[in-house]
Each structure stands twice: as structure tokens, then as C-alpha cells.
Structure 1
Amino acid sequence: MMLSKGRYRVRLAESADDLRAAQRLRWLAFIGKRGAADDGASVDADGFDAACRHVLIEDQRSGQLLATFRFMFLESGAEIGRSYAASHYDLERLRDFSGPMVEMGRFCLHPEHADPDLLRVAWGAMTRFVDENGIELLFGCSSFTGTDTQGYADTFALLKERHLAPRRWLPRVKAPKVFRFARALRRQKPDLKRAQAGLPPLLRSYLMMGGWVSDHAVVDDELGTLHVFTGLEIATIPAGRQKLLRGVAG
């Protein structure tokens, strides 16, 4: 087990049934909640699942799976072409990153159990893995519900103004359908209240730790989401935030 905290336990998937449970929850969270027909066995699965470890966050009393995510360990940026994110973004610049890295992906909560503590516990488990394995960069794709870019104009304007990746790591466009928000909103000043309200919880967590994003969002019609590449250099996380994370991980 990776972590036990309060009513939740965090563990790695150990069997085909565990993996299928994670894929089933992903389908419910990403596809089913959009009204797709469900035969009771629909799953979200792709070719990257076999290369990842899958994390299950369960209710300790009932055993119900309430949240999941997957992660892929890479020795350095030289391996970044293997990642899911590399299928959507040109990450050539990150090939020069010399330290160990982890891609986090497919994070989701059960649609009927959106407890914010689940995200906190997930970060605690990931913090333990980062510390034990000397990880220097976390990255992934942070998703927004829906594909309507106008509805997130203030949020994207905030990302453009305060949270763009350092130029040496900035991803280039690769996907066929993108919203180049840094260019489109270069003159727009964000309404901070609306901008914060539009931030997905996972992305908000990354940004609070000093994370950064791509200058464009990918429009994913298959999952019905927009997503931005998100990176977090472990060495730059503020000391106070590191202490909080390790408090959960301990």
C-alpha cells in the first residue's frame, strides 16, 4: 500500500481486475458523465495503460474505488517521447531535461464522490513516490471539462499572464486541433474571480506548487475536454508547500 490516510487508502493496481476497475471509473468520469450510453461494462482504455502504474484510492470501510490516476516513470527527458503527452505536444525541448521524471495522467474522481480530500491524498501518495525515487519533474495533461474555449477565456488569460512554461521547456504545437490562448488572448486581462473559478482542481494544485503550462490547449473531442501540458519542477516547490505535502505523505 502506498498510503493510508483517514477514511482512504491508496494502493497500486495489482491485477487485471484492479486495472479494469480503474478503467471503468475513468469511463464514468470522462465519458459517462457526458451522457454516453452505458452497458455497465464500458471502460476508458488505451495503449499507454500497459506502460503505466495505476493508483487506486479506495474507501477503507467499503472498499469502493473513489479516485484513480496512472503514472509513467522516465529515466530522463531522453525518454519523453514514450509519454502520453508527447502524442499531443511537441516536447522536443524537454528531451534536454537530465533528471528522472514522472508523467501523471487520467486523474479522476468518482462522479458521485467529489471529496476534495481525495486530491490531497493523491498528492500525498505521489509525494512519497517522488521522494523515494528522486523524481525531479512531474508532468501531464491537465483537463478542462468540455471543449468550449470561450467559457474559459479568463482562466486561459490568467495562465497566459502568470503561468506559462519557461521558454527552454515550452512545448510546441503538435495536435491538429488546438487553441493558442497565449496568442489569442495576449491583450486580455483576466477577471481573477472568474479565472480562479474556471481552474480544474488538479491544475490549481499544480499552479499552487509553482507549476507551469503550455501556451496552447489541445481540443480533445474524443474525451470531450480541453487540456494543457503541465509541468512541475520539484526543486522549485516552495518550502511551505513541500512541508504540507510531506505531512500528508508521512
Structure 2
Amino acid sequence: MRLLTIPADASPSFSKLTLSLASTPEEVREVQRLRYKVFIEAMSLSALANADGLDKDDFDNYCDHLIVRDSKTLSVVGTYRVMSPHAARRMGKFYSEQEFDLSRLDNIRGVIAEAGRACIHPDYRSGGVIMLLWAGLAAYMRKERCEYLMGCASVSLADGGHNAAALFHSFQEKNMAPADYSVTPLLPFPIGEREAGHAPQVPALLKGYLRSGAWVCGEPAWDPDFHSADFFLLLPLAKLDNRYARHYLKETRTA
């Protein structure tokens, strides 16, 4: 089902981008191939390398996959994996529950959509693709009658974890969730004391969540497979910044 088509300047050829939901096994494999190139090959994660060249797990069969294509080349250039409350019930858990205890969120589980595996081809990172993916997330949440969007944002530990620690200390000042929405990492990343003079660098995806009004719901988890510290984020639609609400929650055309 096509959700939205917009002209965009995300590629040098100014081609159009199209947004859709994966509807065939081959489209899901296209998504998995892009994720493999971005998450595994580009990050040189040899422990996760495989002959198929696919980044895949059991959750892929339960989730919906937003796809952004370059309509000239037909290549998949961006994707987001989304799990509805119904799909989480069928699977038995959300993906985030592999890293966090979400029991404090039990009272809102039925109105949460989970987004993850955000992935954009390096040649298409001028902004158009992520804007289209966010519009797709908004449309998906309306369709599923969800009031919250949750997910994990990863911060590389290539610097020894200094940036992840600095980010957490900076979040404590204005970005933390109310206590009723706090979660606990199953494998905590050791934060340590605040380092004087270390200015945190906020990754683009994490910055987008925070600008939209998302809360950071506690200390990060350590993901040894991807060598990252993962922050759990919860975005209540009622809290969505007005600028982003106008942009992402505007009416979209369906076909």
C-alpha cells in the first residue's frame, strides 16, 4: 500500500522518493540488505557478518517495514521497522524488551507503537528520507490508534563510552521522563561521573527524537553486539512539539 509520494532533493539527481509498506518477502529482503550494509558492513561488525548479506531477526516477521525508494533507480534508500501493539502480543514482547524492563509501561502497552532499525543509505542523508519516514510513522500510528511511539537510539562506544556518558548526564537536566515512565536496562552501560569539559555529540536520530519531544526513560543499556549504548525513548503524541506536529501529523494521501 502506497502511503505517500513527494518530490525531494535527497539525491543528486533530484529524483522523487516514494514511501510504502513492504508487502512481499522480497521487499523485506531489500530492507534487510540495506540494513546489513549500513549496520554491519559499514561498522565492520565481523561477528554479525553472514553469507546472505542480510540483517535479520525473528522480529522481522512480526513487524511492518516502512520503505523509501528512489523511484528512478527503484533502490530502497531508507527504512524503519515498526511494531504495533497487536504484533507485540503475537510475538510475546517488543524488541526493546530484550534490553529493558518495560514493566512500568504495562498500563499503556496497548497504545504504544515501537520503531527501530532506522536506516538510510549514505548517499541520501540530506534530510528528505528521514522526513518521509517520520511522516510514515505518523500515518502508521494514526492507523493503529497509538498514543505513544517508543524505541532505542544507539550511541557508538568507539570512543570508549565517553560520549554516551556525557549524553546521559546532559539528558538529566531537561530530557528525562517522569518517574512513572522510567525503564531499567537489563545490561546497564556504566555511566560513571560527569567528565568536566566533555561536550556531548548528539547523533542525528537521537537529536530528531528529542526535538520532537521524546523523553529519555532512564540509563542506557549496553549492546555488545553492535558496540553501542542504547537509550530508551518514549514520545507521547500529546507532547509532540507543535512544529513537528504540523509537519509529521498532517493529512497524508493513501492509494
Give TM-score scaled by structure 1 length.
0.86
User: Is residue 202 of structure 1 aligned with residue 202 of structure 2?
Assistant: no
- Residues of 2 paired with 1:116 and 1:137: CA distance? 24
User: Is residue 56 of structure 1 aligned with residue 67 of structure 2?
Assistant: yes
The runs of 5 or more residues in structure 2 that have no matched partner are: 8-15
The runs of 5 or more residues in structure 1 that have no matched partner are: none
Corresponding residue for residue 69 of structure 1: 80
Corresponding residue for residue 28 of structure 2: 19
Residue 144 of structure 1, aligned match among 155, 170, 173? 155
User: Is residue 96 of structure 1 aligned with residue 99 of structure 2?
Assistant: no
- Residues of 2 paired with 1:36 and 1:248: CA distance? 40
- Residues of 1 paired with 2:91 and 2:213: CA distance? 21
State the percentage of identical aligned residues: 24
- Residues of 2 paired with 1:87 and 1:95: CA distance? 16
**Which stretch shifts more, 66-75 or 35-44?**
35-44
**Which stretch shifts more, 71-80 or 215-224?**
71-80
Secondary structure of the residue aligned to 1:34 is: coil
Corresponding residue for residue 31 of structure 1: 40
| 8 Å Cα contact 2:62/2:87 also seen in 1 | no
Corresponding residue for residue 12 of structure 2: none
Corresponding residue for residue 5 of structure 1: 6
Counterpart residue type for residue 233 of structure 2: T
**Alpha-carbon distance change, 80 to 92 in structure 1, aligned in 2, over 3 angstroms:** farther
Secondary structure of the residue aligned to 2:135 is: helix
Secondary structure of the residue aligned to 1:226 is: strand
Corresponding residue for residue 222 of structure 2: 219
- Residues of 2 paired with 1:121 and 1:164: CA distance? 27
Corresponding residue for residue 83 of structure 1: 94
- Residues of 2 paired with 1:203 and 1:137: CA distance? 16
Residue 47 of structure 1, aligned match among 58, 62, 71? 58
**Alpha-carbon distance change, 120 to 8 in structure 1, aligned in 2, over 3 angstroms:** same
Corresponding residue for residue 156 of structure 1: 168
**Alpha-carbon distance change, 39 to 47 in structure 1, aligned in 2, over 3 angstroms:** closer
- Residues of 2 paired with 1:55 and 1:189: CA distance? 41
- Residues of 2 paired with 1:165 and 1:78: CA distance? 25
Q: Where has structure 1 moved over 4 Å in runs of 4 or more?
A: 36-40, 75-81, 187-191, 247-250
- Residues of 1 paired with 2:22 and 2:166: CA distance? 38
| 8 Å Cα contact 2:115/2:149 also seen in 1 | yes
Counterpart residue type for residue 12 of structure 1: L
Give TM-score scaled by structure 2 length.
0.84
TM-aligned CA deviation for residue 53 of structure 1: 0.6
Residue 238 of structure 1, aligned match among 238, 241, 245? 241
**Alpha-carbon distance change, 43 to 227 in structure 1, aligned in 2, over 3 angstroms:** same
Secondary structure of the residue aligned to 2:166 is: helix
Secondary structure of the residue aligned to 1:156 is: helix
Secondary structure of the residue aligned to 2:124 is: coil
- Residues of 1 paired with 2:86 and 2:56: CA distance? 25
- Residues of 2 paired with 1:16 and 1:78: CA distance? 22
TM-aligned CA deviation for residue 61 of structure 1: 1.5
Residue 179 of structure 2, aligned match among 157, 167, 186? 167
| 8 Å Cα contact 1:69/1:107 also seen in 2 | yes
| 8 Å Cα contact 2:83/2:115 also seen in 1 | yes
User: Is residue 179 of structure 1 aligned with residue 189 of structure 2?
Assistant: yes
TM-aligned CA deviation for residue 220 of structure 1: 1.3
